[in-house]
Amino acid sequence: MLRETTRRFLEDRADSMVVRDLMEKPDGYDSELWKAGAELGWHGLAIPEEYGGIGFGFTELSIVVEELGRALFPGPFLSTVVMAANAILIAGSEQQKQEFLPDIAAGERIMTMALFDGPHGADPSDVAMRATATKEGWVLDGLKRYVAYGNVADTLIVAARTESGVSLFLVPGDAAGLRVSIVPTLDATRRETDVSFDQVVAQGLLGREGSAGPVIERILLLANVALAVEQVGGAQWCLETAVEYAKTRFQFGRAIGSFQAIKHKCADMLVAVEHGKSAAHWAARNADDEAETRIASPMAKAVCSDAYVGAAGETIQILGGTGFTWEHDVHLYLKRAKSTSLMFGGVRHQRRLLAKALGF
Protein backbone atom coordinates (compact mmCIF):
# COMPACT_ATOMS: atom_id res chain seq x y z
CA MET A 1 0.00 0.00 0.00
CA LEU A 2 2.58 2.51 1.18
CA ARG A 3 4.79 1.49 -1.73
CA GLU A 4 2.01 1.91 -4.29
CA THR A 5 0.83 5.29 -3.07
CA THR A 6 4.38 6.55 -2.83
CA ARG A 7 5.24 5.38 -6.32
CA ARG A 8 2.04 6.78 -7.77
CA PHE A 9 2.62 10.12 -6.10
CA LEU A 10 6.17 10.30 -7.41
CA GLU A 11 5.14 9.27 -10.92
CA ASP A 12 2.40 11.90 -10.97
CA ARG A 13 4.18 14.75 -9.27
CA ALA A 14 7.91 14.13 -9.59
CA ASP A 15 8.72 12.48 -12.90
CA SER A 16 12.10 12.95 -14.51
CA MET A 17 11.05 16.29 -16.05
CA VAL A 18 10.51 17.61 -12.54
CA VAL A 19 13.75 16.06 -11.31
CA ARG A 20 15.69 17.65 -14.18
CA ASP A 21 14.08 20.97 -13.50
CA LEU A 22 14.97 20.85 -9.80
CA MET A 23 18.54 19.81 -10.49
CA GLU A 24 19.04 23.07 -12.39
CA LYS A 25 17.66 25.16 -9.53
CA PRO A 26 20.06 26.23 -6.78
CA ASP A 27 17.92 25.06 -3.85
CA GLY A 28 17.77 21.58 -5.35
CA TYR A 29 14.37 20.78 -3.87
CA ASP A 30 10.77 21.94 -4.13
CA SER A 31 9.10 23.17 -0.96
CA GLU A 32 5.62 22.25 -2.13
CA LEU A 33 6.60 18.69 -2.96
CA TRP A 34 8.42 18.53 0.34
CA LYS A 35 5.25 19.55 2.18
CA ALA A 36 3.15 17.18 0.09
CA GLY A 37 5.46 14.30 1.05
CA ALA A 38 5.11 15.21 4.70
CA GLU A 39 1.33 15.26 4.34
CA LEU A 40 1.48 11.74 2.96
CA GLY A 41 3.18 10.84 6.20
CA TRP A 42 6.66 10.14 4.83
CA HIS A 43 8.52 12.39 7.25
CA GLY A 44 6.85 11.18 10.41
CA LEU A 45 6.70 7.48 9.57
CA ALA A 46 9.47 6.48 11.94
CA ILE A 47 8.99 9.25 14.50
CA PRO A 48 7.12 8.20 17.67
CA GLU A 49 3.57 9.41 18.10
CA GLU A 50 4.40 11.44 21.18
CA TYR A 51 6.62 13.62 18.95
CA GLY A 52 4.06 14.13 16.23
CA GLY A 53 4.96 11.11 14.13
CA ILE A 54 3.14 7.97 13.04
CA GLY A 55 5.24 5.65 15.13
CA PHE A 56 6.25 3.03 12.58
CA GLY A 57 9.86 1.94 12.19
CA PHE A 58 12.77 1.92 9.77
CA THR A 59 11.13 -0.82 7.68
CA GLU A 60 8.24 1.44 6.69
CA LEU A 61 10.55 4.39 6.22
CA SER A 62 12.74 2.33 3.95
CA ILE A 63 9.83 1.64 1.59
CA VAL A 64 9.53 5.36 1.00
CA VAL A 65 13.30 5.75 0.65
CA GLU A 66 13.43 2.97 -1.94
CA GLU A 67 10.76 4.70 -4.01
CA LEU A 68 12.52 8.05 -3.65
CA GLY A 69 15.65 6.35 -4.99
CA ARG A 70 13.75 4.87 -7.88
CA ALA A 71 12.46 8.33 -8.80
CA LEU A 72 15.78 10.10 -7.99
CA PHE A 73 13.66 12.45 -5.92
CA PRO A 74 15.76 15.49 -5.03
CA GLY A 75 15.60 16.87 -1.52
CA PRO A 76 17.02 16.77 2.00
CA PHE A 77 15.11 13.65 3.03
CA LEU A 78 18.13 11.56 4.00
CA SER A 79 19.75 14.37 5.97
CA THR A 80 16.57 15.50 7.72
CA VAL A 81 14.37 12.48 8.19
CA VAL A 82 16.89 9.66 8.33
CA MET A 83 19.93 11.27 9.88
CA ALA A 84 18.98 14.32 11.93
CA ALA A 85 15.71 12.89 13.28
CA ASN A 86 17.50 9.75 14.44
CA ALA A 87 20.36 11.73 15.94
CA ILE A 88 17.83 13.70 17.98
CA LEU A 89 15.96 10.54 18.98
CA ILE A 90 19.17 8.89 20.10
CA ALA A 91 20.99 11.78 21.74
CA GLY A 92 18.52 14.60 22.25
CA SER A 93 17.05 15.78 25.52
CA GLU A 94 13.31 15.54 26.03
CA GLN A 95 13.08 19.24 25.33
CA GLN A 96 15.06 18.94 22.07
CA LYS A 97 12.85 16.08 20.93
CA GLN A 98 9.78 18.21 21.59
CA GLU A 99 11.35 21.13 19.82
CA PHE A 100 12.54 19.44 16.64
CA LEU A 101 10.76 16.17 15.91
CA PRO A 102 7.18 17.43 15.45
CA ASP A 103 8.48 20.05 13.02
CA ILE A 104 10.38 17.41 11.06
CA ALA A 105 7.32 15.15 10.95
CA ALA A 106 5.21 18.04 9.68
CA GLY A 107 7.71 18.88 6.95
CA GLU A 108 8.32 22.26 8.52
CA ARG A 109 11.96 21.89 9.36
CA ILE A 110 14.91 20.94 7.18
CA MET A 111 17.99 19.67 8.93
CA THR A 112 21.38 18.35 7.99
CA MET A 113 24.44 16.91 9.63
CA ALA A 114 27.86 18.48 9.08
CA LEU A 115 30.25 15.76 10.10
CA PHE A 116 33.43 15.73 8.05
CA ASP A 117 36.16 18.12 7.00
CA GLY A 118 38.16 15.83 4.66
CA PRO A 119 37.43 13.60 1.68
CA HIS A 120 37.87 10.33 3.51
CA GLY A 121 35.58 11.05 6.40
CA ALA A 122 33.50 7.98 7.20
CA ASP A 123 34.08 7.46 10.88
CA PRO A 124 33.68 9.49 14.13
CA SER A 125 37.47 9.52 14.49
CA ASP A 126 37.70 11.54 11.26
CA VAL A 127 36.02 14.54 12.86
CA ALA A 128 38.65 17.28 12.99
CA MET A 129 36.95 20.63 13.65
CA ARG A 130 37.34 22.19 17.09
CA ALA A 131 34.85 23.83 19.38
CA THR A 132 35.81 26.18 22.19
CA ALA A 133 33.87 27.10 25.28
CA THR A 134 33.36 30.86 25.76
CA LYS A 135 31.17 33.03 27.90
CA GLU A 136 28.56 33.14 25.13
CA GLY A 137 28.59 29.37 24.68
CA TRP A 138 30.32 26.93 22.37
CA VAL A 139 32.08 28.62 19.44
CA LEU A 140 32.85 26.81 16.16
CA ASP A 141 35.56 27.67 13.66
CA GLY A 142 36.57 25.91 10.48
CA LEU A 143 35.14 24.28 7.39
CA LYS A 144 32.79 21.36 7.03
CA ARG A 145 32.56 19.75 3.62
CA TYR A 146 30.10 17.46 1.82
CA VAL A 147 27.18 18.81 3.84
CA ALA A 148 23.90 17.72 2.27
CA TYR A 149 21.55 20.63 1.54
CA GLY A 150 23.35 23.04 3.89
CA ASN A 151 21.89 25.72 1.62
CA VAL A 152 18.33 25.13 2.80
CA ALA A 153 18.84 23.71 6.28
CA ASP A 154 17.03 25.43 9.15
CA THR A 155 19.29 23.68 11.64
CA LEU A 156 22.65 21.96 11.31
CA ILE A 157 24.01 19.29 13.59
CA VAL A 158 27.75 19.84 13.59
CA ALA A 159 30.42 17.44 14.81
CA ALA A 160 33.44 19.04 16.48
CA ARG A 161 36.07 18.21 19.06
CA THR A 162 36.32 19.61 22.54
CA GLU A 163 38.74 18.77 25.34
CA SER A 164 36.72 15.70 26.18
CA GLY A 165 36.24 14.32 22.69
CA VAL A 166 33.83 14.53 19.79
CA SER A 167 30.55 16.35 20.39
CA LEU A 168 27.48 17.31 18.37
CA PHE A 169 26.33 20.92 18.27
CA LEU A 170 23.06 22.42 17.10
CA VAL A 171 23.54 25.46 14.90
CA PRO A 172 20.74 27.54 13.36
CA GLY A 173 20.99 27.86 9.58
CA ASP A 174 21.03 31.64 9.89
CA ALA A 175 23.66 31.87 12.62
CA ALA A 176 26.09 34.78 12.35
CA GLY A 177 29.44 33.73 10.88
CA LEU A 178 28.01 30.75 9.00
CA ARG A 179 28.66 30.70 5.26
CA VAL A 180 27.22 28.05 2.97
CA SER A 181 28.39 27.53 -0.59
CA ILE A 182 26.90 25.05 -3.00
CA VAL A 183 29.50 22.88 -4.70
CA PRO A 184 28.83 21.40 -8.16
CA THR A 185 28.22 17.68 -7.86
CA LEU A 186 28.57 14.61 -10.07
CA ASP A 187 25.00 13.75 -9.09
CA ALA A 188 23.29 17.06 -9.74
CA THR A 189 20.06 15.81 -8.16
CA ARG A 190 21.67 15.95 -4.72
CA ARG A 191 22.92 19.23 -3.23
CA GLU A 192 26.24 19.20 -1.49
CA THR A 193 27.64 22.25 0.27
CA ASP A 194 30.74 23.54 1.99
CA VAL A 195 29.88 25.23 5.27
CA SER A 196 32.41 27.55 6.83
CA PHE A 197 32.25 28.61 10.45
CA ASP A 198 33.72 31.89 11.57
CA GLN A 199 33.21 32.27 15.31
CA VAL A 200 29.78 30.69 15.08
CA VAL A 201 28.02 30.39 18.42
CA ALA A 202 26.16 27.09 18.74
CA GLN A 203 22.61 26.95 20.02
CA GLY A 204 23.65 24.08 22.25
CA LEU A 205 24.92 20.54 22.50
CA LEU A 206 23.07 17.49 21.23
CA GLY A 207 23.89 14.83 23.81
CA ARG A 208 26.66 15.10 26.35
CA GLU A 209 29.94 16.79 25.60
CA GLY A 210 32.55 14.38 24.31
CA SER A 211 30.17 11.46 23.96
CA ALA A 212 29.12 11.80 20.32
CA GLY A 213 31.31 9.01 18.94
CA PRO A 214 28.79 6.19 19.33
CA VAL A 215 25.95 8.47 18.19
CA ILE A 216 27.76 9.38 14.98
CA GLU A 217 28.72 5.77 14.41
CA ARG A 218 25.10 4.68 14.72
CA ILE A 219 23.86 7.50 12.46
CA LEU A 220 26.41 6.55 9.79
CA LEU A 221 25.25 2.93 9.95
CA LEU A 222 21.62 4.03 9.57
CA ALA A 223 22.48 6.47 6.77
CA ASN A 224 24.17 3.67 4.89
CA VAL A 225 21.18 1.36 5.37
CA ALA A 226 19.00 4.11 3.89
CA LEU A 227 21.45 4.62 1.03
CA ALA A 228 21.48 0.89 0.33
CA VAL A 229 17.69 0.86 0.16
CA GLU A 230 17.75 3.93 -2.07
CA GLN A 231 20.30 2.19 -4.31
CA VAL A 232 17.98 -0.78 -4.68
CA GLY A 233 15.22 1.49 -5.94
CA GLY A 234 17.53 2.99 -8.56
CA ALA A 235 19.04 -0.35 -9.57
CA GLN A 236 15.57 -1.80 -10.06
CA TRP A 237 14.70 1.08 -12.40
CA CYS A 238 17.88 0.38 -14.40
CA LEU A 239 17.08 -3.32 -14.68
CA GLU A 240 13.54 -2.64 -15.89
CA THR A 241 14.73 -0.01 -18.36
CA ALA A 242 17.42 -2.29 -19.80
CA VAL A 243 15.09 -5.25 -20.16
CA GLU A 244 12.38 -3.16 -21.80
CA TYR A 245 14.90 -1.78 -24.30
CA ALA A 246 16.37 -5.21 -25.03
CA LYS A 247 12.91 -6.43 -25.96
CA THR A 248 12.05 -3.59 -28.31
CA ARG A 249 15.33 -2.57 -29.95
CA PHE A 250 15.99 -4.45 -33.18
CA GLN A 251 19.38 -4.92 -34.85
CA PHE A 252 20.30 -7.55 -37.45
CA GLY A 253 16.58 -8.30 -37.79
CA ARG A 254 16.35 -9.45 -34.16
CA ALA A 255 15.50 -7.97 -30.78
CA ILE A 256 18.88 -7.31 -29.16
CA GLY A 257 17.66 -9.21 -26.10
CA SER A 258 17.83 -12.35 -28.25
CA PHE A 259 21.63 -12.04 -28.35
CA GLN A 260 23.16 -14.01 -25.51
CA ALA A 261 25.64 -11.20 -24.85
CA ILE A 262 22.72 -8.95 -23.89
CA LYS A 263 20.49 -11.62 -22.35
CA HIS A 264 23.26 -12.71 -19.99
CA LYS A 265 23.95 -9.14 -18.98
CA CYS A 266 20.28 -8.69 -18.07
CA ALA A 267 20.23 -11.98 -16.17
CA ASP A 268 23.37 -11.07 -14.21
CA MET A 269 21.85 -7.71 -13.41
CA LEU A 270 18.71 -9.42 -12.12
CA VAL A 271 20.78 -11.58 -9.76
CA ALA A 272 22.76 -8.60 -8.49
CA VAL A 273 19.65 -6.48 -7.91
CA GLU A 274 17.85 -9.32 -6.13
CA HIS A 275 20.82 -9.79 -3.81
CA GLY A 276 20.89 -6.07 -3.21
CA LYS A 277 17.20 -6.11 -2.32
CA SER A 278 17.67 -8.95 0.14
CA ALA A 279 20.63 -7.31 1.84
CA ALA A 280 19.04 -3.87 2.01
CA HIS A 281 15.65 -5.07 3.23
CA TRP A 282 17.30 -7.25 5.84
CA ALA A 283 19.30 -4.31 7.09
CA ALA A 284 16.23 -2.07 7.17
CA ARG A 285 14.21 -4.66 9.07
CA ASN A 286 16.95 -5.03 11.65
CA ALA A 287 17.82 -1.37 12.01
CA ASP A 288 16.69 -1.34 15.64
CA ASP A 289 19.05 -4.20 16.48
CA GLU A 290 22.33 -2.40 17.07
CA ALA A 291 24.52 -5.48 16.97
CA GLU A 292 23.01 -6.82 13.76
CA THR A 293 23.16 -3.38 12.13
CA ARG A 294 26.94 -3.43 12.49
CA ILE A 295 26.92 -6.40 10.14
CA ALA A 296 23.84 -5.71 8.04
CA SER A 297 24.53 -2.04 7.25
CA PRO A 298 28.03 -2.36 5.71
CA MET A 299 26.98 -5.60 4.01
CA ALA A 300 23.97 -3.92 2.43
CA LYS A 301 25.85 -0.78 1.41
CA ALA A 302 28.67 -2.77 -0.18
CA VAL A 303 26.40 -5.20 -2.03
CA CYS A 304 23.97 -2.49 -3.17
CA SER A 305 26.68 -0.07 -4.28
CA ASP A 306 28.17 -2.71 -6.54
CA ALA A 307 24.74 -3.75 -7.80
CA TYR A 308 23.66 -0.19 -8.57
CA VAL A 309 26.86 1.05 -10.19
CA GLY A 310 26.95 -2.19 -12.17
CA ALA A 311 23.30 -1.96 -13.24
CA ALA A 312 23.55 1.68 -14.29
CA GLY A 313 26.75 1.00 -16.27
CA GLU A 314 25.31 -2.07 -17.99
CA THR A 315 22.09 -0.27 -18.79
CA ILE A 316 24.05 2.46 -20.54
CA GLN A 317 25.88 -0.22 -22.47
CA ILE A 318 22.68 -2.02 -23.48
CA LEU A 319 21.16 1.26 -24.62
CA GLY A 320 24.22 1.93 -26.79
CA GLY A 321 24.51 5.51 -28.10
CA THR A 322 21.14 6.38 -26.57
CA GLY A 323 22.49 5.48 -23.14
CA PHE A 324 25.29 8.01 -23.51
CA THR A 325 22.96 10.96 -24.10
CA TRP A 326 21.91 13.68 -21.68
CA GLU A 327 18.36 13.26 -22.92
CA HIS A 328 17.94 9.71 -21.62
CA ASP A 329 17.55 9.44 -17.85
CA VAL A 330 19.99 6.58 -17.33
CA HIS A 331 22.97 8.91 -16.85
CA LEU A 332 21.23 10.45 -13.85
CA TYR A 333 21.14 6.96 -12.33
CA LEU A 334 24.82 6.28 -13.02
CA LYS A 335 25.74 9.55 -11.33
CA ARG A 336 23.51 8.82 -8.35
CA ALA A 337 24.89 5.28 -8.15
CA LYS A 338 28.52 6.33 -8.14
CA SER A 339 28.10 9.16 -5.71
CA THR A 340 25.99 7.22 -3.20
CA SER A 341 28.60 4.49 -3.26
CA LEU A 342 31.18 7.09 -2.18
CA MET A 343 29.09 8.76 0.51
CA PHE A 344 29.88 7.85 4.14
CA GLY A 345 32.67 5.52 3.06
CA GLY A 346 33.07 3.69 -0.23
CA VAL A 347 32.63 -0.01 -0.82
CA ARG A 348 36.07 -0.89 0.50
CA HIS A 349 35.41 0.97 3.73
CA GLN A 350 32.13 -0.89 4.10
CA ARG A 351 33.87 -4.22 3.68
CA ARG A 352 36.40 -3.16 6.28
CA LEU A 353 33.58 -2.37 8.73
CA LEU A 354 31.96 -5.71 7.95
CA ALA A 355 35.16 -7.61 8.59
CA LYS A 356 35.59 -5.75 11.88
CA ALA A 357 32.04 -6.52 12.96
CA LEU A 358 32.60 -10.18 12.13
CA GLY A 359 35.85 -10.24 14.02
CA PHE A 360 38.28 -11.01 11.22
Partner 1 sequence: MADEGALVDERIEKLLSGFGPDTDPKEFWGRQYDLGLAWVHFKEGFGGLGVKPKYQSVVQDRLEAAGAPVGNRELNLLGIGMGAGVLSAHGTEEQQRRWLRPMFTTDEIWCQLFSEPGAGSDLAGLSTKAYRDGDEWIVNGEKIWTTLAHVAKWGMLPVRTDPDAPKHRGITYFIVDMKAEGVDVRPLYQITGEAEFNEVFFGDVRIPDDQRIDAVGAGWRVAMTTLMNERVAIGGKILPRESGAIGIAVETWQEYGLDDPVLRDELARLWAETEAMRLTTIRAAEMRKVGVPGPEGSTGKLAWADLNKAITAFTLDMMGWDGTLFPGGYQKVRPTSIGDPKARQKQFLRARANSIEGGTSEILRNILGERVLGLPGEPRVDKDIPWKDVRRG
Under 8 Å between Cβ of 286 and 293:
yes
Nearer to partner 1, 174 or 326 (CB): 326
Task: Work out how close the CB of 273 gets to ligand FAD at its nearest, in angstroms, rounded to a whole number.
Answer: 18
Positions in 208-247 near partner 1 (CB under 8 A): none
97 binds, among partner 1, ligand FAD, none (CB under 5 to 8 A by kind): none
Type of residue at 156: L
Task: Work out how close the CB of 190 gets to partner 1 at its nearest, in angstroms, rounded to a whole number.
Answer: 8
Under 8 Å between Cβ of 189 and 332:
yes
Cβ density class 89-116: b for 16+ within 10 Å, e for less: bebbeeebbebbbbbbbebebbbbbbbb
Q: Which residue in 178, 235, 262, 266 binds partner 1 (CB under 8 A)?
A: 262
CA 249 to chain centroid: 34
Nearest-angstrom CA–CA distance, 312 and 333: 6
Find the helix or strand (DSSP H, E) in which 37 lies. helix 31-39
Give me the torsion for CA of 95, 100, 106, 109, rounded to 10°: 160
Q: Which residue in 121, 124, 173, 233 binds partner 1 (CB under 8 A)?
A: 121
- Pattern 166-195, partner 1, x by CB under 8 A: -----------------xxxxxx---x---
- Binders of partner 1: how many residues, by CB under 8 A? 49
Nearest-angstrom CA–CA distance, 239 and 231: 12
Task: Work out how close the CB of 264 gets to ligand FAD at its nearest, in angstroms, rounded to a whole number.
Answer: 10
Nearer to ligand FAD, 259 or 282 (CB): 259
Q: Which residue in 100, 269, 313, 354 binds partner 1 (CB under 8 A)?
A: 313
**Nearest by Cα to 148 from 230, 42, 38:** 230
Q: Does 283 bind partner 1 (CB under 8 A)?
A: no
95 binds, among ligand FAD, partner 1, none (CB under 5 to 8 A by kind): none
Q: Which residues bind partner 1 (CB under 8 A)?
A: 116, 118-122, 145-146, 183-188, 192, 248-254, 259-262, 309, 313, 316-317, 320-321, 323-327, 331, 334-335, 338-339, 342-343, 346-348, 351-352
